[in-house]
């Protein structure tokens, strides 16, 4: 890990925002970068449509295989109206289209939303505009269409390079499709190309996972996100497990994660967050900013906002979302104003996932001084390095966060 570069801190304008440093100079796990990211602002656009529901997924999606004719343009128009209702927010450092499956929209529809954002907010110079895509939706024309409309980062939902694992995950693309998309995206001119992988399905062997990782790091990609398969309530996977199918094994998953970190690290990817690795200069601005407690706006079904100490969220039901928007009101389902100590706790719970760790705020200091914190430090799971608290075993981050939740600032 590098020391915090002065350059990352040197351009603080009067409003407290730290300008994007020249990212090409920084490792993804740089501490100065993580600190700067807390002042960046983002917008998230949720595109809920999916051609079917994958057996492990519990996201807020619109399953087009179940729904009646879904009018995607009606949804696009609603998102544009929601953007127009938003209060001034300052300049956006990143815009992220996630889902769902954003690649089910046409380039023109995506551009309509982008134009609405540009009409309502300023975009910083060098803004990151990213989109998550499913490989089967992407051909050369679609890829070039995204570059031509200003998208700078492509995140490809590869999940695995083993055909059998893709099948049990319910993915619709064949082996080789995601590789082709990565190669085409690189030559089309995306600034950053990333892939997402899922590990730990019971039908996946260590050998299969190793082969997937080796293929991933051999691709012309700058960023890899890896997620452990989890069994979420209400999913087909959870029903299968309840009926006796094998569940993911946490020990196997820990081994897979370690294997990935070793192979990716040796190939020049730095882990900057539990699930995210990037080559120097290719940290995902949106990811780093949200994990660093930066403010963001969320538009679309089930989207969340975090701004000025307030968190709010939208309806998760499409009919309610559309009804509210078309009736001229914000589609909020709830919001809460956070006290200063709530915000500190949130900053800790998010930041503890970062390889750069979190600053020793009063909350972090209280935790480090508590009996639980001291035990974790003695066990080498948590480290205090100069002015930061760092989790040294990323797989134990959730456990550390749970321990920290039981500590209040008054405990120190
Ligand atoms: S494509 Fe992604 S969001 Fe859609 S159902 Fe599958 S996992 Fe969920």
Residue 100 C-alpha to ligand 1 middle, in angstroms?
5
**pLDDT value of position 112:** 98
Residue 76 C-alpha to ligand 1 middle, in angstroms?
19
Pocket-testing residue among 46, 56, 65, 99, ligand 1, by greatest number of atoms within 8 A of Cβ: 99
In the chain, the percentage of residues whose pLDDT exceeds 70 is 92
- Does residue 36 sit in the same domain as residue 141? yes
- Does residue 345 sit in the same domain as residue 257? no
Q: Is the residue at 297 inside a domain?
A: no
Instruction: Decide: 59 in ligand 1 pocket, CB within 6 A.
Output: yes
Cβ atoms 163, 174 nearer than 8 A:
yes
Instruction: Decide: 54 in ligand 1 pocket, CB within 6 A.
Output: yes
**Which atom of ligand 1 is least distant from the CA of 63?**
5
Residue 67's nearest CA partner among 330, 328, 334, 322 is 322
Residue 318's nearest CA partner among 43, 46, 42, 44 is 46
**pLDDT value of position 160:** 97
Residue 273's nearest CA partner among 216, 227, 242 is 227
Q: How far apart are CA 189 and CA 126, in angstroms?
A: 15
Instruction: Decide: 57 in ligand 1 pocket, CB within 6 A.
Output: yes
Can you tell me the mean pLDDT for 49-57?
Answer: 94
Q: How far apart are CA 169 and CA 323, in angstroms?
A: 34
- Does residue 175 sit in the same domain as residue 54? yes
At 4, is the pLDDT very low, low, confident or very high (cuts 50, 70, 90)? very low
Express each pLDDT in 331-361 by its tens digit. 999 999 999 989 999 999 999 999 999 999 9
Domain boundary among 271, 291, 311: 291
Domain boundary among 291, 310, 327: 291
- Residue 6 clears pLDDT 50, i.e. is over it: no
**pLDDT value of position 407:** 75
- In sequence order, the 6+-apart residues with CB closer than 8 A to the CB of 170 are 52, 53, 54, 55, 56, 236
Residue of the CA atom closest to atom 3 of ligand 1:
100
- Token pair, residue 185, equals 């995206």
Residue 53 C-alpha to ligand 1 middle, in angstroms?
6
Q: Specify the residue for token string 């399953």.
A: 63
Residue 57 C-alpha to ligand 1 middle, in angstroms?
6
Residue of the CA atom closest to atom 6 of ligand 1:
54
- CATH code for the domain in which residue 29 is found: 3.80.30.20
Can you tell me the mean pLDDT for 141-152?
Answer: 97
- Does residue 149 sit in the same domain as residue 231? yes
- Does residue 206 sit in the same domain as residue 266? yes
Number of domains in the chain: 2
Express each pLDDT in 213-252 by its tens digit. 999 999 999 999 999 999 999 999 999 999 999 999 999 9
Residue 117 C-alpha to ligand 1 middle, in angstroms?
25
Cβ atoms 39, 8 nearer than 8 A:
no
Residue 290 main-chain phi, psi, to 5 deg: -70, -40
Torsion of CA 156, 218, 267, 274, to 10 degrees: 20
- Does residue 255 sit in the same domain as residue 384? no
- Does residue 82 sit in the same domain as residue 12? yes
SS3 of 179, please?
Answer: helix
Mean predicted lDDT score pLDDT of the chain: 91
Q: Of 203 and 9, which is predicted with more confidence?
A: 203
At 70, is the pLDDT very low, low, confident or very high (cuts 50, 70, 90)? low
Can you tell me the mean pLDDT for 57-62?
Answer: 89
- Does residue 254 sit in the same domain as residue 346? no
Domain that holds residue 348: 340-412
Q: Is the residue at 316 inside a domain?
A: no
Using the 8-state DSSP alphabet, how is residue 220 labeled?
A: S
Express each pLDDT in 402-411 by its tens digit. 999 887 555 4
Instruction: Decide: 171 in ligand 1 pocket, CB within 6 A.
Output: no
SS3 of 142, please?
Answer: helix
- Residue 56 clears pLDDT 50, i.e. is over it: yes
Instruction: Decide: 101 in ligand 1 pocket, CB within 6 A.
Output: yes
- Does residue 34 sit in the same domain as residue 108? yes
Can you tell me the mean pLDDT for 157-179?
Answer: 95
**Which atom of ligand 1 is least distant from the CA of 52?**
5
- Does residue 241 sit in the same domain as residue 380? no
- Does residue 268 sit in the same domain as residue 374? no
Instruction: Decide: 61 in ligand 1 pocket, CB within 6 A.
Output: yes
Express each pLDDT in 302-340 by its tens digit. 999 999 899 999 999 999 999 999 999 999 999 999 999
């Amino acid at each position: 890990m590098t020391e915090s570069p002065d350059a990352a801190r040197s351009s603080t304008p009067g409003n407290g925002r730290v300008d994007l440093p020249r990212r090409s100079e920084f490792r993804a796990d740089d501490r100065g970068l993580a600190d700067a990211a807390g002042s960046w602002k983002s917008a998230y656009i949720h595109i809920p449509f999916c051609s079917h529901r994958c057996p492990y997924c519990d996201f807020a999606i619109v399953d087009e295989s179940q729904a009646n004719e879904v009018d995607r343009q009606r949804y696009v128009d609603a998102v544009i109206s929601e953007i127009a209702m938003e209060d001034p927010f300052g300049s956006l450092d990143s815009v992220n289209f996630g889902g769902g499956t954003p690649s089910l929209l046409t380039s023109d529809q995506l551009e309509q939303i982008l134009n609405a954002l540009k009409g309502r907010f300023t975009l910083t110079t060098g803004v990151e505009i990213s989109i998550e895509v499913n490989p089967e939706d992407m051909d050369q024309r679609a890829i070039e269409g995204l570059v031509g409309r200003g998208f700078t980062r492509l995140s490809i939902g590869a999940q695995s390079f083993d055909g059998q694992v893709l099948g049990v995950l319910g993915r619709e693309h064949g082996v080789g499709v995601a590789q082709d998309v990565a190669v085409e995206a690189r030559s089309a001119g995306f600034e950053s190309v990333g892939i997402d992988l899922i590990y730990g399905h019971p039908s996946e062997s260590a050998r299969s996972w190793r082969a997937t990782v080796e293929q991933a790091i051999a691709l012309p990609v700058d960023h890899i996100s890896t997620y452990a398969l989890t069994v979420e309530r209400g999913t087909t996977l959870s029903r299968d497990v309840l009926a006796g199918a094998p569940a993911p094994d946490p020990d196997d998953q820990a081994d897979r994660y370690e294997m990935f970190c070793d192979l990716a690290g040796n190939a020049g990817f730095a882990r900057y967050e539990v699930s995210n690795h990037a080559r120097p200069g290719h940290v995902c601005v949106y990811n780093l900013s949200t994990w660093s407690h930066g403010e963001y706006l969320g538009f679309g079904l089930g989207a969340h906002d975090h701004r000025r100490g307030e968190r709010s969220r939208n309806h998760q039901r499409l009919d309610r979302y559309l009804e509210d928007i078309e009736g001229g009101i914000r589609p909020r389902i709830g919001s809460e104003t956070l006290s200063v100590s709530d915000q500190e706790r949130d900053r800790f719970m998010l930041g503890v996932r970062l390889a750069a760790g979190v600053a020793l705020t009063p909350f972090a200091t209280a935790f480090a001084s508590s009996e639980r914190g001291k035990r974790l430090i003695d066990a080498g799971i948590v480290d205090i390095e100069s002015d930061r608290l760092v989790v040294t075993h990323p797989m134990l981050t959730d456990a550390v966060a749970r321990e920290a939740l039981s500590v209040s600032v008054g405990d120190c």
